[in-house]
Chains A and B, each alone.
Chain A
Amino acid sequence: MKCELITNLSKDIKEIAYIQTGLVISTLKYEEKEKLGQVFCEGDYFGLDSLVFGINLIDYYAVGKTRFKKESYQLFTELLKDKDYYDKFFLNLKITFLEIASFMKKREEEILLLNLRKIYNRSPQIKGLPKDFILNYISIDKINSLLESNVIVEDEEFFYYNPK
């Protein structure tokens, strides 16, 4: 399954995205290093950087046939007037902040595990992360240690969280 860099967010105007189906993985580059960030599942908003700055400082990749809708800044502020939308957005914002804060001082493989666990709990269709993509960011040794301790499992294409 392919992971495709999302390039059509905030191309002309400031926008935020809302995932309708599928999964989005974020990555972050700093100096010469690039690391896996948080994953976003159905019902999650992503691209706060895009909404605020009109450009993504974080890279977002759509996994497979992920579908998301974009909301312009203007539409977003209009929608916030609705109480349900407001509650949904700020609850999602809270979770997004707490998730990324929970990565602090964690090793790369621990972050992968947290992401896989989220996908296991939250993503109804895609249940893991594509191996080809993940191995660009995390070394096989670190993945092997997770596999050996049986906290994740694999098939030909994906790594999965192992709830057992």
Chain B
Amino acid sequence: MKDFFNPGEILLKENEIYNFCYYIISGKVNTSLKNRELSSGEFIGVMSFITGKPLLESYIANTKVEVLKIDKNSISKILEEKEFSLFIEHVGKLYINLFFKSLFGVTPNIYELLISKAMVTNRKDLIEDMQLDETDVLLAELDQILNAGEIFESELPEDPEIATESFKSLFNKENIDLAGIIVFTTNYIRKNADNSQLCEDLIYGFEKSIEIEDRALVKYFLYLSCIYCNDSKRIKEVLEEYLEILRFWGIPAWGEMMIRIENYDSFLNIFNKKNVGDKNEM
């Protein structure tokens, strides 16, 4: 069953006990305690649903939110669906996290644990699957972002230096126009894909997005920098510098994946094979 919430509405309240949890279909949800932002594909209230214990924090709609309500009755209806496998995977992750937290007081990186265990037990099949799964998820997310820029077209200065200045000036306005930045950037990449300055400009965009604290824009420029900067060492340096901020904002997957240079290379191979983001077509 789907539920809908308007910005500011509380989906689940701290200290309450719920016999259901939610799967976010679309929209953004903020948590009250740690102020994390959750978005589509994430679950909320699962621990309370399983254990019957009160929630530790409230969940508040940050935008219009559409959720799938998961309770005893609905589980039996979604057993064959993707949502159930995502739900049980989430439960598995919660369990592993709780196990580590209880015995060692740490929250592990489950992806790294899986890779390391698969290597120890010589499960090459799993290693390949995991890398491909992760890459597919990232590609899907990337497709969405790149398509957003495809809708618009805009005029750009012919002179590359002036174009760079125009690009940078977009971040220094009093009222930043996010859609304008995305449109300009998409066109800028299209015309300057072979320009070595592009990499530094995208990194500039990434750093400025962090400065103005716009999570979506951070993600956008993180993706673009990783793809359009051929110098993987440079990207690694930037990611290492900002990894803690990315973790804090809950954008660890790309940053951590890219920071492992072997994954960066394997990602690029797959990316190129699928012809996503062909420089001339973008």
Contacts and interface: CB of A to CB of B under 8 A. Distances in A.
A52 B79 contact: no
Contacts of A101: 51, 98, 102
A90 B100 CA distance: 21
Nearest to A33: B104
B76 A81 contact: yes
Contacts of A77: 79-80, 84
A152 B80 CA distance: 47
Contact of B50 (A30, A58, A94): A94
B51 A103 contact: no
B104 A93 contact: no
Interface stretch (B86-94, B158-166, B252-260): B86-94
Contacts of B99: 28, 37, 58, 100
Interface centre among A28, A37, A105, A111 (most CB of B within 10 A): A28
B108 interface: yes
Interface residues of B, number: 37
Contacts of B47: 97
B148 interface: no
Contacts of B212: none
Q: Is the interface of B mostly helix, strand, loop or mixed?
A: helix
Interface string B226-247: 0000000000000000000000
B247 to A, nearest CB: 19
Contacts of A49: 92, 95-96
Contacts, number: 88
B92 A100 contact: no
A51 B75 CA distance: 17
Interface in B29-88: 47, 50-53, 72, 75-76, 79-80, 84, 88
A11 B155 CA distance: 58
A93 B251 CA distance: 30
A80 B78 CA distance: 11
A52 B50 contact: no
B103 A28 contact: yes
Contacts of B80: 77
Nearest to A28: B103
Interface of A: 28, 30, 33, 35, 37, 48-49, 51-58, 77-78, 80-81, 86, 90, 93-94, 96-98, 100-106, 111
17 contacts: A35-B103, A48-B91, A49-B92, A53-B114, A55-B126, A56-B117, A58-B96, A80-B75, A86-B76, A94-B51, A94-B52, A100-B98, A100-B102, A102-B102, A103-B102, A103-B103, A104-B102
Given A30-B100, A104-B102, A105-B105, 17 more contacts: A28-B99, A28-B100, A37-B103, A49-B95, A52-B89, A52-B91, A52-B92, A55-B117, A56-B117, A57-B113, A58-B96, A77-B79, A80-B79, A81-B79, A97-B94, A97-B98, A101-B51
